[in-house]
Amino acid sequence: MLKNIIKMGLQSIEEVFTFNRDYEAKVAETADHIRAQLGSLRPEFGITLGSGLGDIADAIEDATTISYADIPNFLVPTVEGHEGNLIFGNLEGIPVIGLSGRTHYYEYGDLPFNYGMLRTTFAVNVLADLGIANYFVTNAAGGLNQKFKVGDMMVLHSHIHNQPNPLLGEHRQFKRVDNGERVERFPPVSPTYDPELRKVLHAAGQEHRDHLHQGVYMGVTGPTYEAEAEARSFRDNADAVGMSTTGEVIVARGRGMRAVGMSCITNEISASGDNPANHDEVKRILESPEVRQRLTSTVQEFFRLYRAS
Ligand code: HPA
């Protein structure tokens, strides 16, 4: 019995060790697998569809769906309410890859060799290996800004990465999408969210302008929601707080992709810092047809305007 447990433990340690050691090769293997199925499609955007954005997947035309379970080195999300499908096709005439469901740092953050962060950002590295120039990120977030209401949208202006950095450790051999050069040891991420794409997203949300904001996103590890004093201290520097996005965007920017991002506000964090949010409540907001329609129509309009620009 004890022997088996030790063996199992060593096996998984070896798995996380080799994932780190062979990371570039694993990213390349996954990209090759997806590339072989894309046919003549040359995606211009990768989009991570956070919770509540699943309807976007239905708006992708001529769509091919691949379950994460059928993609080498991809993991099926462990959290209920997060799907695991890659969908490629055309969104309002723009060739895209949609990632419905993401890995969060809190799922694997207990493991060594920066495994949690490497896992969290794996799909973005695959998008970059596929030569995709733009990364559109969406997420669910708690509203720190007192003007924000449940169901509102926030265009990400900048972020604070309050998790381990995905680029810690060995300087990897990855190439940039924009100029083919090796990713720098100390890559700048500013401007973090592309000013032009941000403008397009802001214009796309005008139909819902009473529910549209711009602000700073704080990315924390979770899985706990914030204590009162944490929320108050975050509010000094950020407008919304969530458990994803920032690591993905660091990788996207490091690899020379342009980033654009949008949060859906699922709960209001009060002036005192009370954050009685729970996962069921967050899920309920994201299942609301009104909120889903607002998010979906804004993303669709973004691609219409992008195409026209
Ligand atoms: N805090 C952190 N993550 C979240 C929240 C929150 O209030 N709401 C949705 N994701």
Digit-coded pLDDT (tens) for 38-63: 999 999 999 999 877 888 888 999 99
> What is the 95 CA–ligand 1 centroid distance (Å)?
31
| pLDDT of 212 over the 70 cut | yes
Please tell me if the CB atom of residue 282 comes closer than 6 angstroms to any atom of ligand 1.
yes
Average confidence (pLDDT) over 77-82: 65
The whole-number pLDDT of residue 142 equals 96
> What is the 167 CA–ligand 1 centroid distance (Å)?
24
The whole-number pLDDT of residue 162 equals 98
> Whole domain around residue 242: which residue ranges?
2-308
> What is the 127 CA–ligand 1 centroid distance (Å)?
26
| pLDDT of 76 over the 90 cut | no
Residues 6+ apart with CB under 8 A from 216: 156, 157, 158, 159, 160, 237, 238, 239, 240
Q: What residues are labeled active site?
A: 51, 82, 104, 106-107, 140, 243-244, 267, 279
The Cα–Cα gap between 118 and 9 comes to: 20
Ligand 1 atom nearest to CA at 243: 3
Contact yes or no for 177/253 (Cβ under 8 A): no
Give me the number of domains the chain comprises. Answer: 1
Average confidence (pLDDT) over 161-182: 97
Ligand 1 atom nearest to CA at 220: 2
Please tell me if the CB atom of residue 242 comes closer than 6 angstroms to any atom of ligand 1.
yes
The whole-number pLDDT of residue 55 equals 85
The whole-number pLDDT of residue 7 equals 66
Please tell me if the CB atom of residue 267 comes closer than 6 angstroms to any atom of ligand 1.
yes
Please tell me if the CB atom of residue 153 comes closer than 6 angstroms to any atom of ligand 1.
no
Quote the tokens at residue 218: 């704080």
Please tell me if the CB atom of residue 167 comes closer than 6 angstroms to any atom of ligand 1.
no
Alpha carbon of residue 7 to chain centroid: 34
Positive or negative, the CA dihedral 187, 189, 195, 198 is positive
Residue-averaged pLDDT of the chain: 93
Contact yes or no for 263/242 (Cβ under 8 A): yes
- Residue 183 DSSP one-character state: P
Average confidence (pLDDT) over 163-173: 96
- Which of 8-17, 104-113, 114-123, 160-169 is the least confident region? 8-17
Please tell me if the CB atom of residue 230 comes closer than 6 angstroms to any atom of ligand 1.
no
Which residue has the CA at smallest separation from atom 8 of ligand 1?
Answer: 142
Residue whose token pair is 């590890």: 221
| pLDDT of 81 over the 60 cut | no
Ligand 1: which of 53, 146, 153, 267 to mutate, most ligand atoms within 8 Å of CB? 267
Please tell me if the CB atom of residue 143 comes closer than 6 angstroms to any atom of ligand 1.
no
Indicate the pLDDT class of residue 189, thresholds 50, 70 and 90: very high
Please tell me if the CB atom of residue 241 comes closer than 6 angstroms to any atom of ligand 1.
yes
Which residue has the CA at smallest separation from atom 2 of ligand 1?
Answer: 242
The whole-number pLDDT of residue 77 equals 75
Please tell me if the CB atom of residue 275 comes closer than 6 angstroms to any atom of ligand 1.
yes
The Cα–Cα gap between 198 and 96 comes to: 18
Average confidence (pLDDT) over 117-133: 98
| pLDDT of 83 over the 80 cut | no
> What is the 52 CA–ligand 1 centroid distance (Å)?
14
The whole-number pLDDT of residue 82 equals 59
List, in sequence order, every residue forming a beta bridge with 87; answer none if it has no partner: 65, 98
Indicate the pLDDT class of residue 283, thresholds 50, 70 and 90: confident
Give the domain CATH number at 32. Answer: 3.40.50.1580
The whole-number pLDDT of residue 273 equals 83
> What is the 66 CA–ligand 1 centroid distance (Å)?
29
- Which of 9-23, 139-153, 253-267 is the least confident region? 9-23
> What is the 243 CA–ligand 1 centroid distance (Å)?
7
The Cα–Cα gap between 304 and 309 comes to: 9
Q: Strands 134-143, 45-49: parallel, antiparallel or unpaired by DSSP?
A: parallel
The pLDDT tens digits of the residues spanning 237-275 come to: 999 999 999 999 999 999 999 999 999 999 999 989 888
pTM value?
0.95
| pLDDT of 172 over the 60 cut | yes
